Amino acid sequence: MSDKATIEINGKKYDFPILVGTENEQAIDISKLRAITGGVTTIDPGFKNTGSCESGITFLDGEKGILRYRGYSIEELANKADFLEVAFLLIFGELPTKEELDQFHEDIKENSIVDDDIRKILDAFPKAAHPMGILSSLTSALTAFNPSNDQINNIDYERSKKALYDNIVKVLGKIPVLVTWTYRKKHGLPLEYGDNSLGYVENILKMMFKKPNKDYEENPVIVKALNKLLILHADHEQNCSTSTVRIVGSSHAGLFASISSGISALWGPLHGGANQAVLEMLEAIKADGGDTKKYMAKAKDKSDPFRLMGFGHRVYKNFDPRAKIIKVTADEVLNDLGVEDPILDIAKDLEKEALSDPYFVDRRLYPNVDFYSGIIYRAMGIPVDMFTVMFALGRLPGWIGQWREMRLKKEPIGRPRQIYTGPNHRTFKSVMD
């Protein structure tokens, strides 16, 4: 294998080193391109072929449908691990010992209290506000109430490491409270802090669903399913929201501010917002008589803006391993809960048709993680506009781990280049003249 790439520009040759990752991925290191060529840059809209960093957190091979967190396969983690174990793994690099996990959970619980003034901010949102907008705003507002310094500071490294750890457990402690409060406020329920004797996932469900003056009964099917969904969402290397978190953090903005921007990036229907869009699409197809062929034709018609939501992925060009796990889980959960949801049949019909349709086969468009997740969330009793919020909750460890890695490696500020295509120099003339 060659260890350099040669690029010829205007008859002159330039050599660039090739970096090789632990899974033999190769990248041409063009960081010196501009300097040695006297101003030539690269262009890659949507960063379809641009590596922004070297990272030791998540490996995915889109051709083979492989996803691993810190070397552990997603299948194994989804079936055997606890979400908090996975969070620790993603953030700190290794699985925790029992003592480390217990301490981590204790620290998260201790840091889960949210300042009372946050309730006032929550109260000020109109009832129709989207939960993702609320969550992003409240996460940003946390900065005002937790002004600790989480900068990685060379001068007092131990102190800044401690401040960073404190902010990590605060994010994992407080954001579930904000998520569940957002849900409760929308549904006219009094705000709850939940129960510190419970596991992390169990507590999220109790905070969300506990009815006033009624005992709360835990449903192990729902706990298991949510644990699995959160693990499947936990990280996905340099996707839109994670790149956002890293790039915001690269300016040395704090962890809360960076996560808040990640939540906003996740909101869009092409990214995490697809789970809401999928369910709305399936409902619309059902309301329109369940004619999946009509919607397949719309998705293929280039003059129609309709896309089959939950299909296609920037990186997976064979299958999304998370979608495989989720499809089985959707069947299990609906079965165990005794829920009959006609939109599951519509989803399965669409999938079957797409998998044998040349348009989808040629473009290698397969169901992604969001195709079936909404059906599970709905069976759990979670409303459609909260689906992406649940995704955000699962993605927290990934965002934190990537942010921490970026700061510990002292990565430079993110600042892409461009090719300017606007007007050339012209002279200003005011309308006031």
Show which residues are catalytic. 313, 370
Among 9, 20, 36, 270, binds ligand CMC (CB under 6 A): 270
Does position 299 interact with ligand CMC (CB under 6 A)? The reply is yes
Binding positions for ligand CMC, 332-351, rule CB under 6 A:
none
Counting Cα atoms < 13 Å in the Cβ hemisphere of 144 gives: 10
Specify the residue, 179 or 277, whose C-beta has the smaller distance to ligand CMC: 277
Specify the residue, 119 or 317, whose C-beta has the smaller distance to ligand CMC: 317
Amino acid identity, residue 348?
K
Stretch that binds ligand CMC, among 94-102, 248-256, 307-315, 412-420 (CB under 6 A): 307-315
Q: How many CB atoms lie within 10 A of CB 14?
A: 16
Cβ 167 to ligand CMC shortest distance, Å: 25
Contacts of 222 (CB under 8 A, 6+ apart): 205, 333, 337, 380
Stretch that binds ligand CMC, among 84-92, 120-128, 312-320, 397-405 (CB under 6 A): 312-320
Interatomic CA distance for residues 344 and 348, integer angstroms: 6
Cβ 335 to ligand CMC shortest distance, Å: 25
Q: How far, CA to CA in Å, does 182 sit from each of 119, 218, 377, 386? A: 10, 21, 16, 9
CB 176 within 8 A of CB 394: no
Q: How many CB atoms lie within 10 A of CB 111?
A: 18
Stretch that binds ligand CMC, among 14-22, 124-132, 156-164, 264-272 (CB under 6 A): 264-272
Strands 12-20 and 72-73: unpaired
Cβ 350 to ligand CMC shortest distance, Å: 11
Stretch that binds ligand CMC, among 56-64, 164-172, 194-202, 269-277 (CB under 6 A): 269-277
Does position 312 interact with ligand CMC (CB under 6 A)? The reply is yes
Among 313, 327, 378, 407, binds ligand CMC (CB under 6 A): 313
Among 88, 104, 311, 399, binds ligand CMC (CB under 6 A): 311
Among 271, 298, 317, 348, binds ligand CMC (CB under 6 A): 271
Binding positions for ligand CMC, 357-376, rule CB under 6 A:
363, 365, 368-370
Does position 292 interact with ligand CMC (CB under 6 A)? The reply is no
Does position 309 interact with ligand CMC (CB under 6 A)? The reply is yes
Does position 176 interact with ligand CMC (CB under 6 A)? The reply is no
Cβ 233 to ligand CMC shortest distance, Å: 8
Among 136, 139, 180, 239, binds ligand CMC (CB under 6 A): 239
Q: Nearest residue by C-beta to ligand CMC?
A: 312
Interatomic CA distance for residues 407 and 413, integer angstroms: 10
Among 161, 224, 314, 317, binds ligand CMC (CB under 6 A): 314
Contacts of 426 (CB under 8 A, 6+ apart): none
Helix (H, G, I), strand (E, B) or coil at 26: strand
Q: Angle 292-300/342-355 helices, nearest 10 degrees? A: 50
Counting Cα atoms < 13 Å in the Cβ hemisphere of 323 gives: 22
Does position 274 interact with ligand CMC (CB under 6 A)? The reply is yes
DSSP letters, 28-58, are: E--TTHHHHHTS-----GGGTT------SSE
Residue 308: what are its φ and ψ, rounded to 5°? -75, 100
Does position 330 interact with ligand CMC (CB under 6 A)? The reply is no
CB 14 within 8 A of CB 37: yes
DSSP letters, 401-423, are: HHHHHHHHTTPPPP-------S-
Which residues of the shown chain bind ligand CMC in the complex (CB under 6 A)?
A: 46, 236, 239, 270-272, 274, 299, 307-314, 363, 365, 368-370
